[in-house]
Amino acid sequence: MRTIALMCVFVLLLAATGCTRETRGSSGETQSTEAKLTESNQQRLISRTPPPQLDKSLERENLVRRLNFLNDEQKIFYVYLVSYGKVMAYYTAKGKVSSVNSKLTTGEQVLDSSYLLYNGGMGTNRLGAVVVESPALDGSYGTNGDAVFFFTTEDIYVEWNGEYMVSSEPLDLATPPILVRTVGEPQHIPKIE
């Protein structure tokens, strides 16, 4: 963590000195001098207080543990959908909650511009390699919005575009969910008289 903090301070100092427009003459001598002073100061601080060399990373261990924990199709999760600070609905989900923007293939492709010049008529300029958006597996382009989805223990698909909480154990709610629908019961539409 200390290493990251030192690196952040160094980057901020470099950014601050790189953004100044104060120069002596047209050659930018002041800017160059300040950049050298910043680098010299940072090197001196690093030599006096070097970043630690960790033998293990609890952050990486937590990431591995989380991935293994979530990647169990039989695990039951309790999902609370939240809107305006209130729990709107509550579900039991079998397996993890996923983003609608997760992809099975890469979202971008690197193409040689000569391919684009030949096939797309992009003009006569040689661009080298260019990055283009990849189509999704269904052949469409773009994002799927900003939502998550999951399958309930009854194998019902639920998609939610809002805040949510997930727990591996049920939570005690101070107030009941606003929207309640018992899965498996027929839906009754009230008559308006």
User: Which H or E element spans position 50?
Assistant: none
What are the pLDDT digits (tens) for 149-192? 999 999 999 999 999 999 999 999 888 888 766 665 555 555 55
Give the C-alpha separation, 149 to 96, whole Å: 9
Question: Is 119 a member of any domain?
Answer: yes
**pTM > 0.85: yes or no:** no
CB 159 within 8 A of CB 149: yes
Instruction: Print the domain residue range for 6.
Output: 2-20+30-48
Same domain as 178, residue 150: yes
The residues that bridge with 149 in the sheet, in sequence order, are: 98, 159
Same domain as 110, residue 137: yes
Question: Is 65 a member of any domain?
Answer: no
Question: Is 117 a member of any domain?
Answer: yes
User: Which H or E element spans position 137?
Assistant: none
Same domain as 156, residue 133: no
Structural domains of the chain, count: 3
Per-residue pLDDT at 29: 87
